[in-house]
């Protein structure tokens, strides 16, 4: 049995992993899908203090208080920023890192550095609410921005997507334990549509090591192709 901690991306919450989590649990695995502060069911906690570092602390706390070890730590999209920071802070608790169509940052980079044009494009459509600049604001059919096309999935997302504090996207990632961090095996599950935009050397290295899976679907692949994602995560656990 493996232990998975699934970290969501911007504007989402742990809810987005429900289809994948059901499949992993049915196979006997332990699954945690925490929601980061200020989004999802924790959107009422949005404040000017919510940033990348706080989100890293959110997940480090889950590992500590649930006493989780040898975790398969998965991050989707912005969640790639978070899991990299978590593995830096709690390397002794992380057995594998999985980047699920995610940002692949290095020390000193923000999400703006990693995916600038896409992220910058969201800012003009945001708004300040109670002193917090929020982007990725929900709207009918907003799931289409994440590559979701099924009407039922879009309706499900309409009820759950929330705005995301902009500060999270512009704060640089600070790494202090890089030797231990980069010793953790890394795996990549990517969408065909985003593969060409990724670091070619990183992808080639992952492919050569048998640590790259490609799924031909939209960016929210945990919603659009949960079976394919769960199968890939099963394979990661079996390595």
Digit-coded pLDDT (tens) for 12-50: 999 999 999 999 999 999 999 999 999 999 999 999 999
Quick one: pLDDT band at residue 103, thresholds 50, 70, 90?
very high
CA distance 186 to 184: 6
CA distance 50 to 207: 36
- Choice among 47, 77, 110, 193 that is catalytic: 77
> What pLDDT does 197 receive?
86
For 162-177, how does the pLDDT look when each residue is reduced to its tens digit (9 = 90+)?
Answer: 999 999 999 999 999 9
For 108-152, how does the pLDDT look when each residue is reduced to its tens digit (9 = 90+)?
Answer: 999 999 998 889 999 999 999 999 999 999 999 999 999 999 999
> What pLDDT does 196 receive?
85
> What pLDDT does 54 receive?
98
For 64-85, how does the pLDDT look when each residue is reduced to its tens digit (9 = 90+)?
Answer: 999 999 999 999 999 999 999 9
Other CB atoms within 10 Å distance of the CB of residue 182: 15
CA distance 37 to 52: 10
Bridge-partner residues for 4, per DSSP?
A: 31, 72
Q: Which helix (H) or strand (E) holds 7?
A: strand 3-7
**pLDDT at position 53 over 90:** yes
Q: Kindly report whether the global pTM for this prediction surpasses the value 0.95.
A: yes
> What pLDDT does 88 receive?
98
Q: Are strands 127-129 and 132-135 parallel, antiparallel or unpaired?
A: antiparallel
At residue 51's C-alpha, the angle toward residues 48 and 52, to 5°, is: 180
The HSE-up count of residue 65 (CA atoms within 13 Å, CB side) is: 8
Q: Which helix (H) or strand (E) holds 76?
A: strand 71-76
Task: Write down the CATH superfamily of domain 3-238.
Answer: Alpha/Beta hydrolase fold, catalytic domain (3.40.50.1820)
193: annotated active-site residue: no
Indicate the average pLDDT of the chain. 97
Q: How far, CA to CA in Å, does 3 sit from each of 124, 160, 173, 236?
A: 39, 26, 25, 11
């Amino acid at each position: 049995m493996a232990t998975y901690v699934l970290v969501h991306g911007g504007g989402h919450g742990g809810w987005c992993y429900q289809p994948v989590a059901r499949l992993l649990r049915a196979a006997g695995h332990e699954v945690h899908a925490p929601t980061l502060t200020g989004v999802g069911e924790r959107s009422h906690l949005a404040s000017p203090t919510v940033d990348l570092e706080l989100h890293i602390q959110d997940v480090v706390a889950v590992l500590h208080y649930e006493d989780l070890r040898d975790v398969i730590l998965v991050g989707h999209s912005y969640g790639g920023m978070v899991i990299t920071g978590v593995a830096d802070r709690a390397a002794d608790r992380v057995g594998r890192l999985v980047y699920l169509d995610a940002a692949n940052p290095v020390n000193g980079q923000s999400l703006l550095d990693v995916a600038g044009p896409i992220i910058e494009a969201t800012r003009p459509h945001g708004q300040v609410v109670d002193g917090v600049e929020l982007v990725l604001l929900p709207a009918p059919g907003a799931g289409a921005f994440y590559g979701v096309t099924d009407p039922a999935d879009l309706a499900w997302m309409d009820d759950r997507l929330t705005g995301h504090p902009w500060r999270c996207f512009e704060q640089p990632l600070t790494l202090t334990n890089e030797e231990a961090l980069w010793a953790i095996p890394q795996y990549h599950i990517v969408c065909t549509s985003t593969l060409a935009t990724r670091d070619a050397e990183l992808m080639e290295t992952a492919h050569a090591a048998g640590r790259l899976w490609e799924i031909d679907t939209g960016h929210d692949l945990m919603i659009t192709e949960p079976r394919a994602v769960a199968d890939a995560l099963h394979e990661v656990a079996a390595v």
